[in-house]
Amino acid sequence: MISEQFRALWLPRLLSVVRIMTGLLFLQHGLTKYIGFPVPTPATFQVASLAGVAGAIEIVAGVLITIGLFSRTIAFIASGEMAFAYFISHAPRSVFPQANGGELAILFCFIFLYIALAGGGSWGVDAMRAKASTPAP
């Protein structure tokens, strides 16, 4: 059984690890669209399209989520983008996420929604800024 003291110490840190990994995974989707890394850019990609806007959001949000800056606001925006992506691109194909390829969009949506409510954890720029603005006792 995990003690309450251990949980209290590590829960904000684990939240930071989840935030960082989610940000890096999200970032790669935007980088793929714009610079073809880590996989080639889709042949149909155009900057002036919904995919172009999505890619820009994914790059900016991916970086900011990874470093933990404006985590709640950016995670809320990214959550909305993923909900939009699911309903525009995936849901029309099938009711079932596994059949329509939308599992990742749903997962990103809800992880970002959780980060928007829970914050970015103890490791990140937001946490450092909050600590710096707290007056010393």
Neighbours of 137 (CB within 10 A): 3
Give, in order, the Cα–Cα distances in Å from 33 to each of 26, 36, 43, 79, 133: 12, 6, 10, 19, 38
For the full predicted model, state whether its pTM sits above 0.85.
Answer: yes
Per-residue pLDDT 10s for the chain (137 aa) are 789 999 999 999 999 999 999 999 999 999 999 999 999 999 999 999 999 999 999 999 999 999 999 999 999 999 999 999 999 999 999 999 999 999 999 999 999 999 999 999 999 999 999 999 888 77
Please spell the DSSP secondary structure of 93-108, one letter per residue.
Answer: G-SSHHHHT-HHHHHH
Neighbours of 85 (CB within 10 A): 23
Residue extents of the structural domains in the chain? 15-122
| Residue 84: burial class (beta carbons within 10 Å; 0-12, 13-18, 19+) | middle
Q: Tell me if 55 sits within 8 A of 29, measured CB to CB.
A: yes
Nearest CA to 85 among 51, 110, 115?
Answer: 51
